[in-house]
Amino acid sequence: MNHTALQSLLAALIVLPLLGSLAALLPAPPGLRGRGPDQAVLRHGVTVTGVVLAAAVALAAGFDHDRPATMQAQTDISWIPALDIRIHLGVDGVSLPLLVLTALLTFLCALYGYFNMPAGPSPKAFVALLLLLEAGTLATFAVLDLMLFFLAFETVLIPMYFLINRWGGAGRERAAWRFILYTLLGSVVMLLGLLLVGLKGGTFDMVALASDNGSKLSHTTQLIAVLAIGIGLAVKAPMWPLHSWLPDAHTAAPTVGSVLLAGVLLKMGTYGLVRVVLPIAPDGAHALAPYLAAFAAVGIIYGSLACLALVRTGGRGDLKRLIAYSSVGHMGFVLLGIATLTPTGVNGALFANIAHGLITGLLFFLVGALKDRFGTTDLDQLSGTGGAALYGRAPRLGGLLAFGAVASLGLPGLAGFWGEMLAMFGAFRPADGLSRPAFLTFMALAGLGTLLTAAYLLLVVRRVCMGEHPEEEIPGTLTGAPAGAPAGASPEPDRRALVDVRGYEFAAWTPLVALTVLGGLWPAALLGLSDPAVQQLLAGGH
């Protein structure tokens, strides 16, 4: 595909969702209203996100896979000459998979929302916010100017805030405020770091700064810049101990909000570390890498222990909250891989980013389906005393949940395995100048985290998927506690016949399952894209 066509596709990825967001607020033409204006605007969301996904796939098909380290489809237009801020777009082997992942997950969320719109205000606002969120996220992965990166990074905050606050569940207002306050405070600190790099480096162009490889920045300047930028990115990642906004946000968010938050928004932080911090301020990154690795290792253990506490019987654990805490652990592997400063570790981090988006997106879809059927995601209410018996009552739904769990624990042959393994390989032999004994300790902690992850996910499968399947299905809702049970005992699960996977659910979940299997069986498809680009970034763009 020629350069102009690729340029147009990349620009369309950002412009189409923006235009679609504005169009969603306008009255639907009379001939396109279908059964009513609500259906029309939801169909509009599916159409726009579908076109964006098609453009992303076309961009991936036209991408020169023989030169993944080369920045392709570049557009470079002066925007604010006085500050040398440019509209600079481009894509390489690091950003291309994230662009396709974002387009895919947003389309699947729009499709899911068309058939299962979350309770809340007008669908017009829901679709407009969804498309604005997509535009901001895609722009974050496509822009190559530090100021544009910051603007795109911030664009996603407002739509996600309203998606949680207006269409979320119990505790949504508090969760939305915590989300916006944490991320805005982190962004203010990050902006100071980006300004410092741009002013001291003489340009805000990320490609030029990467080529300089920190030569125009003193060691002290790099340390301050990495610390400031790193804090803002770590909040979004989320890195322990800056993660505390995440469980509340996931628990309160509607299903599509949780899918996009885990599958796409968390990746913006780790992408920024690879794209901005490592090539632009290498000395600062090297000095602070051991601390990043230490926080990552603690996050892996902390997330796993929190999940074990939530999954125990009588712990009143929420399944959505458990998966949110699991994200803290999984993103810890991504941060550990980045902290090794080696091609192996960084490639593992980028692979784990994509795998986490696919697997955790699927898990949040499945938990949303459980809530639709049971009316709750409380594990004690779901499983009662003997297990929810999904295998017997809704076998396809139970099988998909078990698949998501074993993929999340890193079963070999599925996508979750490769990223975590490569991150630990990177920690086994970190970059020159980093303490190998310290990183071996971090690797051992990460290995322990994989065992704890397997423990809590298998417990989830046992409590939700297994159990006694009753001989006779009794219609009804969640029943009370069993006769003779002590006061306050958990109610028994609803033993009516459950609806198994619906058609629209099958359509929304199948691509995630297929790509999880494909990524596990053919990791070279992703690693072949990212490795040359990572080698170049770590070498300062040369």
Q: Mean pLDDT, to the nearest integer, of 495-513?
A: 81
Place of tokens 């796409």: 264
The full length of the chain comes to 542
- Banded model confidence at residue 227, pLDDT cuts 50, 70, 90: very high
Q: In this model, does residue 476 exceed pLDDT 50?
A: no
pLDDT, averaged across the chain: 85
Place of tokens 């498809």: 525
Q: Mean pLDDT, to the nearest integer, of 515-534?
A: 90
Amino acid at 379: L
What is the per-residue pLDDT across 393-408, written as a single tens digit (0 to 9) for each?
888 988 899 999 999 9
Taking the C-alpha atoms of residue 54 and residue 61, their distance in angstroms, rounded to an integer, is 10
Q: Mean pLDDT, to the nearest integer, of 444-467?
A: 89
Half-sphere exposure of 515 (CA within 13 A, CB side): 21
Q: In this model, does residue 536 exceed pLDDT 60?
A: yes
- The token pair at 112 is 């899911």
What is the per-residue pLDDT across 333-371, written as a single tens digit (0 to 9) for each?
999 999 999 999 999 999 999 999 999 999 999 998 888
- Banded model confidence at residue 469, pLDDT cuts 50, 70, 90: low
3-state secondary structure 1-29: CCHHHHHHHHHHHHHHHHHHHHHHCCCCC
Taking the C-alpha atoms of residue 200 and residue 146, their distance in angstroms, rounded to an integer, is 13
CB atoms within 10 A of CB 114: 19
* Cβ burial 405-444 (10 Å sphere, 16+ → b, else e): bbbbbbbeebbbbbbbbbbbbbbbbbbeebeeeebeebbe
Amino acid at 301: I
Q: In this model, does residue 540 exceed pLDDT 90?
A: no
Q: In this model, does residue 479 exceed pLDDT 70?
A: no
Taking the C-alpha atoms of residue 231 and residue 388, their distance in angstroms, rounded to an integer, is 42
Supply the pLDDT for residue 485.
41
- Banded model confidence at residue 41, pLDDT cuts 50, 70, 90: confident
Supply the pLDDT for residue 386.
66
Q: Mean pLDDT, to the nearest integer, of 34-46?
A: 79
Closest CA to 146 of 203, 220, 95, 94: 203
Angle, helix 319-339 to helix 343-374, in steps of 10 degrees: 170
Q: In this model, does residue 542 exceed pLDDT 60?
A: no
The rounded percent of the chain whose pLDDT value lies above 70 is 91
Supply the pLDDT for residue 36.
66
Supply the pLDDT for residue 300.
93
Check if the beta carbon of residue 287 is closer than 8 Å to that of residue 247.
no
Least-confidence region, from 216-230, 333-347, 484-498: 484-498
Place of tokens 């970059």: 431
Q: In this model, does residue 482 exceed pLDDT 50?
A: no
Supply the pLDDT for residue 473.
42
277 versus 489: which is more confidently predicted? 277
Taking the C-alpha atoms of residue 45 and residue 83, their distance in angstroms, rounded to an integer, is 37
Taking the C-alpha atoms of residue 423 and residue 443, their distance in angstroms, rounded to an integer, is 8
Supply the pLDDT for residue 432.
86
- Banded model confidence at residue 201, pLDDT cuts 50, 70, 90: confident
- The token pair at 469 is 């399947």
What is the per-residue pLDDT across 271-299, written as a single tens digit (0 to 9) for each?
999 999 999 888 888 999 999 999 999 99
Please give the model's pTM, rounded to 2 decimal places: 0.89
Spatial CB neighbours of 232, under 8 Å, sequence gap ≥ 6: 186, 187, 188, 189, 190, 191, 193
Taking the C-alpha atoms of residue 37 and residue 100, their distance in angstroms, rounded to an integer, is 30
Amino acid at 193: G
- Banded model confidence at residue 35, pLDDT cuts 50, 70, 90: low
3-state secondary structure 122-138: CHHHHHHHHHHHHHHHH
